[in-house]
């Protein structure tokens, strides 16, 4: 039995479980970087496609390399008829249930699904990134009563998502806001879904199966879904609620020790650096739409939570009002997390495949210490 000092922490908190060059976090200082590039610089100056290249190759692309990746994504973006047919046949369900099932189906229609060569896995990473976005956007469009449409090869990844969802070509501001959101969510070290993907990849299963495992972990309310809960809270309080009602609702929850969604983080002890950019995008989108109320409500809630309980917003808090102002249904909020994080999931899987060892931790056994006598069945 390990000593008290050697016993593992619940939830493997602060336990180093892998070596990786992909993502660096410093929770005390609020630092997030992909391959050494600070998230603030990437959010201000890089597109999601550039970040995908960075995560998969360990460096930013030059213009020709970026153009090549954009062409590869465009070539893989359209959904096949069997996948569209399956989407229509699935019973009404949660967006994450749909995404889990259809991602598994993608592997059924890929003749290279079982090929674990580096070249095949890279192609699958591109295909998954392109098609998961198309699946989520098309599902959202069909859920709203529209029919599936073909992606536009002239549009980038963020713009195509919004186009497939609404049928309208998005504004430059909407495209940039969504692109920034994708950049911010692309990777976050060994979070639950990424760890699930790496554990699966370490068995040398195929990339589709590893991704399905990650989606299953993301579906859990302790990982994904907080931004949807934030939006439900804002709607519950009411868009036209006076300041006093907002304060009363939040102070009441704090007094009852009810968790305010979108605040606090397992790693960060200061503001989540991703929240900085989403706060700004929420404000700018609200101003463009002529309705800043959701942003103003969010800002007031942040002021209360930070001032009275020293709670800082995480990436989910302002992504809620950002997505909602873009006209995105709440049921799509967590699937959109996967639209971005697929780039990080696949990057971690590619890294795992390249230097693989089966991930097989041990447990701290707390069961009976002595052999138990086996009683015959009729004497138990």
In the prediction, which pLDDT does 66 show? 98
User: Is residue 274 located within the same domain as residue 203?
Assistant: no
Question: What's the token pair of residue 17?
Answer: 């479980």
In the prediction, which pLDDT does 225 show? 86
Question: What's the token pair of residue 378?
Answer: 């009729």
Question: What's the token pair of residue 162?
Answer: 């919004």
Question: What's the token pair of residue 206?
Answer: 């195929």
In the prediction, which pLDDT does 77 show? 97
Residue of 187, 229, 272, 316 marked active site: 316
Domain closes at, from 309, 325, 341: 325
How many whole angstroms separate alpha carbon 376 and alpha carbon 41?
68
In the prediction, which pLDDT does 271 show? 85
**157 pLDDT exceeds 60?**
yes
CATH number of the domain residue 317 falls in? 1.10.230.10
In the prediction, which pLDDT does 92 show? 79
DSSP per-residue string spanning 281-331: HHHHHHHHHT--HHHHHHHHHHHHHHHHH---B-HHHHHHHHHHHTT--GG
User: Is residue 124 located within the same domain as residue 271?
Assistant: no
Question: What's the token pair of residue 84?
Answer: 């569209």
Instruction: Assign 146 a pLDDT band (cuts: 50, 70, 90).
Output: very high
242-267: average pLDDT: 90
> Is residue 23 in a domain?
yes
User: Is residue 194 located within the same domain as residue 242?
Assistant: no
Give the number of domains in the chain: 2
> Is residue 366 in a domain?
no
User: Is residue 208 located within the same domain as residue 343?
Assistant: yes
**125 pLDDT exceeds 70?**
yes
Residue count of the chain: 380
| Backbone angles phi and psi of 77, in degrees to 5 | -75, -35
- Work out the mean pLDDT of the chain and round it to a whole number: 93
Higher local confidence (pLDDT), 304 or 2: 304
Helix (H, G, I), strand (E, B) or coil at 137: helix
**147 pLDDT exceeds 80?**
yes
User: Is residue 215 located within the same domain as residue 348?
Assistant: yes
- Cβ atoms of 343 and 55 closer than 8 Å: yes
User: Is residue 66 located within the same domain as residue 178?
Assistant: yes
> Is residue 4 in a domain?
no
Question: What's the token pair of residue 240?
Answer: 């036209």
Instruction: Centre a 10 Å sphere on the Cβ of residue 27 and count the other Cβ atoms it contains.
Output: 15
Q: How far is CA 245 from CA 10, 152, 300, in A?
A: 38, 45, 11
* Whether residue 152 lies in the annotated active site: no
Question: What's the token pair of residue 210?
Answer: 């590893």
The number of C-alpha atoms within 13 Å of 330 and in the hemisphere containing its C-beta is 12
Question: What's the token pair of residue 72?
Answer: 């590869």
Helix (H, G, I), strand (E, B) or coil at 127: helix
In the prediction, which pLDDT does 7 show? 66
> Is residue 363 in a domain?
no
In the prediction, which pLDDT does 276 show? 94
> Is residue 10 in a domain?
no
231-250: average pLDDT: 94
How many whole angstroms separate alpha carbon 297 and alpha carbon 72?
41
**59 pLDDT exceeds 70?**
yes
User: Is residue 135 located within the same domain as residue 198?
Assistant: yes
Higher local confidence (pLDDT), 18 or 40: 40
In the prediction, which pLDDT does 232 show? 96
Tell me the pLDDT tens digit for each residue of 192-226: 999 999 999 999 999 999 999 999 999 998 888 88
92-118: average pLDDT: 94
Tell me the pLDDT tens digit for each residue of 298-326: 999 999 999 888 889 999 999 999 999 99
How many whole angstroms separate alpha carbon 41 and alpha carbon 46?
8
In the prediction, which pLDDT does 202 show? 97
**99 pLDDT exceeds 70?**
yes
Question: What's the token pair of residue 301?
Answer: 């809630």
366-370: average pLDDT: 91
For residues 216-254, b (16+ Cβ closer than 10 Å) or e, as one string? bbbbeeebbbbbbbbbebbeebeeebeeeebeebbeebb
User: Is residue 34 located within the same domain as residue 63?
Assistant: yes
> Is residue 370 in a domain?
no
* Whether residue 41 lies in the annotated active site: no
Higher local confidence (pLDDT), 106 or 16: 106
Q: Which domain holds residue 310?
A: 226-325
- Cβ atoms of 339 and 319 closer than 8 Å: no
Instruction: Assign 292 a pLDDT band (cuts: 50, 70, 90).
Output: very high
User: Is residue 260 located within the same domain as residue 337?
Assistant: no
> Is residue 170 in a domain?
yes
User: Is residue 178 located within the same domain as residue 309?
Assistant: no
User: Is residue 50 located within the same domain as residue 183?
Assistant: yes
In the prediction, which pLDDT does 264 show? 78
> Is residue 13 in a domain?
no
User: Is residue 33 located within the same domain as residue 120?
Assistant: yes
**8 pLDDT exceeds 70?**
no
How many whole angstroms separate alpha carbon 324 and alpha carbon 375?
61
In the prediction, which pLDDT does 6 show? 58
Residue of 188, 265, 312, 348 marked active site: 265
């Amino acid at each position: 039995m390990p000593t008290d000092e050697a016993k593992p922490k619940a939830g493997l908190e602060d336990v180093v479980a892998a070596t990786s060059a992909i993502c660096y976090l410093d929770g005390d200082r609020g630092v997030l970087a992909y391959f050494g590039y600070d998230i603030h610089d990437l959010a201000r100056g890089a597109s999601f496609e550039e970040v995908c290249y960075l995560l998969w190759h360990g460096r930013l692309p030059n213009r020709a390399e970026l153009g090549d990746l954009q062409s590869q994504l465009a070539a893989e973006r359209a959904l096949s008829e069997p996948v569209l047919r399956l989407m229509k046949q699935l019973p009404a369900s949660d967006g994450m249930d749909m995404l889990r099932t259809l991602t598994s189906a993608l592997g059924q229609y890929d003749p290279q699904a079982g090929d674990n060569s580096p070249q095949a896995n890279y192609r699958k990473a591109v295909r998954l990134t392109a098609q998961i976005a198309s699946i989520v956007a098309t599902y959202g469009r069909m859920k709203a009563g529209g029919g599936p449409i073909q992606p536009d090869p002239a549009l980038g990844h963020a713009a195509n998502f919004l186009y497939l969802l609404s049928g309208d070509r998005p504004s430059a501001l909407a495209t940039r806001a969504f692109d920034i959101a994708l950049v911010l969510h692309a990777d976050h070290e060994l979070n639950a879904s990424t760890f699930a993907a790496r554990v699966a990849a370490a068995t040398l299963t195929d990339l589709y199966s590893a991704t399905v495992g990650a989606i299953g972990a993301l579906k859990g309310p302790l990982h994904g879904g907080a931004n949807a809960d934030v939006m439900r809270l804002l709607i519950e309080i009411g868009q036209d609620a006076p300041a006093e009602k907002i304060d009363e609702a939040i102070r009441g929850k704090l007094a009852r020790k009810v968790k305010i969604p979108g605040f606090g983080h397992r790693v960060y002890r200061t503001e989540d650096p991703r929240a900085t950019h989403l706060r700004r995008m929420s404000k700018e989108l609200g101003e463009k739409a002529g309705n800043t109320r959701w942003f103003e409500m969010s800002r007031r809630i942040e002021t209360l939570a930070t001032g009275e309980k020293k709670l800082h917003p995480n990436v989910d808090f302002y992504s809620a009002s950002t997505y909602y102002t873009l006209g995105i249904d709440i049921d799509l909020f967590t699937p959109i997390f996967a639209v971005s994080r697929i780039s990080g999931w696949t990057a971690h899987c590619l890294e795992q495949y390249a230097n693989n060892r089966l991930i097989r931790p041990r447990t701290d056994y707390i069961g009976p210490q002595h052999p138990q006598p086996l009683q015959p069945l009729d004497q138990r």
